[in-house]
Structure 1
Amino acid sequence: MQAASRTISSSQLGPHQDLERRVLRARDGEWRRPSAEHTRLAFAQAERWLADQHRPLILDAGCGVGLSTRRLAQRFPDHAVIGVDRSEKRLSRDHGAIGDNALLVRADLVDFWRLAREADWRPARHYLLYPNPYPKSTQLKRRWHGHPVFPTVLALGGRLELRSNWSIYVSEFAMAVELLTGHRPAPREFDPAGEFLTPFEQKYVESGQTLWWLEVDLGAGRFDAHMAGARP
């Protein structure tokens, strides 16, 4: 059994009062920051690899040590799975061989998402698996749904799945999706039944924490019309 994991502590008792303003600001804003050179190079490598796969894409965003990427590739052998994380140290940890339908990429995730949108990538599935929350009330803009990149994430389309051990985070995410798409997915408690996708997931369960799950079908970009600021 892994070491116990502390539950998230926050002064927030419910969704952040500034959530709507931040989400709509991201929708209506224009992104001006150029993508980092190392991420452009990494994306070009991933794009060449994906072109040779001839399989639908699964994007494992913020994959950490890459265990989830490996397990998703095993779970969906007819898909090409790309795991993206900014940490070379995490990605270099040994979690066994990686299948020929999986690729780990070291890149800035925010820039990678924007480049994927520019390239018109349409992942069949898109995973956000722990932990991102930034639970301080002053940190809303660092949570994915409060970040300026959020409209771009939704504009990629596909079946987006979020997992977290913080219910407020998942509720906020659902509200942000509704603001941009007109559709509000329903968060629910989640039990992986021992089939853990990430080390965090296993640690949270073994610590007795409740996991939360949310899934939204974004289709093949059919919500683009709602998101004026989605393109970088």
Structure 2
Amino acid sequence: MNNTEITGDSKAIVTNQPGIHEKLAEIVNKHIAHPSQKPIQAHTQQAFDEINKVVQAFIGEVILDSCCGVGQSTRLLAKQNPAALVIGVDKSAHRINRNVDEVEHDNGQGKVENYHLVRADLNDFYRLVVAANWPVTKHYILYPNPWPKAKHVQRRWHGSAVFPQIIAVGQEIILRSNWLLYLEEFQVAASVLSFKGDISTVNVTQPLTPFEAKFHASGQQCWQLHICK
């Protein structure tokens, strides 16, 4: 295993996996052949039903911000796309309910209001989004938990049972991480479903998330995978 490298106040990713997981394609194909039959959790179904009414009544661009944490990225995306409906989803009620004041008030220009934060389990939420055929234009997944140990590959989004639904959401998928291998694996998993994407470095000017700010301040390179269908 590599030694932990300390860069600023943020530790670099430590993994015992030297490259793309050898069983990744096999795992993705298994999930394609055998879709998840797990019952939808009641709290996620209720949260989805409420926000689905908003989505179905909206005419315009819908942007999904998955794993939104405290919602900073959701608010910034809403600010950057004022004509869009931006929906941030995170499983943590604590994170969702935190206030990010610096984005709420746009230098006296008014409050950012074209977004909603939803507490839900994305493993269930994605399946409901696909079933409801949401017209998502851009699907952001910003700095997901890397689960860097090789034995935890199926805890990464591209190794999860819901990956076929994840890749089905959005005309564009924008995934960012400070672990290049995570993006390379997601890119390979997407190719199993015949989707291609490009990886590039992120030039951080206004960090979209607190993690992006922390990684940037620590001198770590952030990367982006962009899949355009």
Once the two structures are TM-superposed, the CA of residue 20 in structure 1 deviates from its matched residue by: 0.8
Q: Counterpart in 2 of 1:227?
A: none
Amino acid at match of 2:202: F
Q: Counterpart in 2 of 1:10?
A: 15
Question: How far apart in 1 are the matches of 2:175 and 2:127?
Answer: 19
Question: How far apart in 2 are the matches of 1:128 and 1:51?
Answer: 22
Note if contact 1:53-1:101 (Cα within 8 Å) is conserved in structure 2. Answer: no
Q: Counterpart in 2 of 1:166?
A: 179
Q: How does 1:36-55 map to 2 (within 5 A)?
A: 36-55=41-60
Corresponding residue to 2:209 among 195, 198, 211: 198
TM-score, normalised by the number of residues in structure 1: 0.89
Q: Counterpart in 1 of 2:35?
A: 30
Q: Secondary structure at the match of 2:161?
A: coil
Alignment pair present for 1:146 and 2:151:
no
Give the count of matched residue pairs.
214
Alignment pair present for 1:156 and 2:169:
yes
Q: Counterpart in 1 of 2:197?
A: 185
Q: Counterpart in 2 of 1:90?
A: 95
Question: How far apart in 2 are the matches of 1:14 and 1:56?
Answer: 37
Q: Counterpart in 1 of 2:5?
A: none
Q: Secondary structure at the match of 1:187?
A: strand
Once the two structures are TM-superposed, the CA of residue 72 in structure 1 deviates from its matched residue by: 0.3
Residue identity (%):
40
TM-score, normalised by the number of residues in structure 2: 0.90
Question: How far apart in 1 are the matches of 2:19 and 2:199?
Answer: 14
Q: Looking at both structures, which has the greater relative contact order when contacts are Cα pairs under 8 Å and sequence separation is at least 6?
A: 1
Question: How far apart in 2 are the matches of 1:137 and 1:204?
Answer: 23
Note if contact 2:55-2:134 (Cα within 8 Å) is conserved in structure 1. Answer: no
Amino acid at match of 2:54: W
Q: How does 1:97-136 map to 2 (within 5 A)?
A: 97=104, 99-136=112-149
Once the two structures are TM-superposed, the CA of residue 123 in structure 1 deviates from its matched residue by: 0.5
Task: For structure 1, list consecutive stretches of 5 or more residues without a partner in the other structure.
Answer: 219-232
Once the two structures are TM-superposed, the CA of residue 95 in structure 1 deviates from its matched residue by: 0.5
Q: Secondary structure at the match of 1:124?
A: strand
Q: Counterpart in 1 of 2:223?
A: 212
Once the two structures are TM-superposed, the CA of residue 154 in structure 1 deviates from its matched residue by: 1.3
Question: How far apart in 1 are the matches of 2:55 and 2:36?
Answer: 26
Q: Counterpart in 2 of 1:223?
A: none
Question: How far apart in 2 are the matches of 1:161 and 1:44?
Answer: 25
Q: How does 1:41-80 map to 2 (within 5 A)?
A: 41-80=46-85
Task: For structure 2, list consecutive stretches of 5 or more residues without a partner in the other structure.
Answer: 1-7, 105-110
Amino acid at match of 1:146: G
Question: How far apart in 1 are the matches of 2:41 and 2:124?
Answer: 7
Once the two structures are TM-superposed, the CA of residue 49 in structure 1 deviates from its matched residue by: 1.8
Amino acid at match of 2:197: P
Question: How far apart in 2 are the matches of 1:187 and 1:17?
Answer: 21
Once the two structures are TM-superposed, the CA of residue 191 in structure 1 deviates from its matched residue by: 1.5
Once the two structures are TM-superposed, the CA of residue 164 in structure 1 deviates from its matched residue by: 0.2
Amino acid at match of 2:139: H
Amino acid at match of 1:128: I
Once the two structures are TM-superposed, the CA of residue 13 in structure 1 deviates from its matched residue by: 1.3
Once the two structures are TM-superposed, the CA of residue 90 in structure 1 deviates from its matched residue by: 0.4
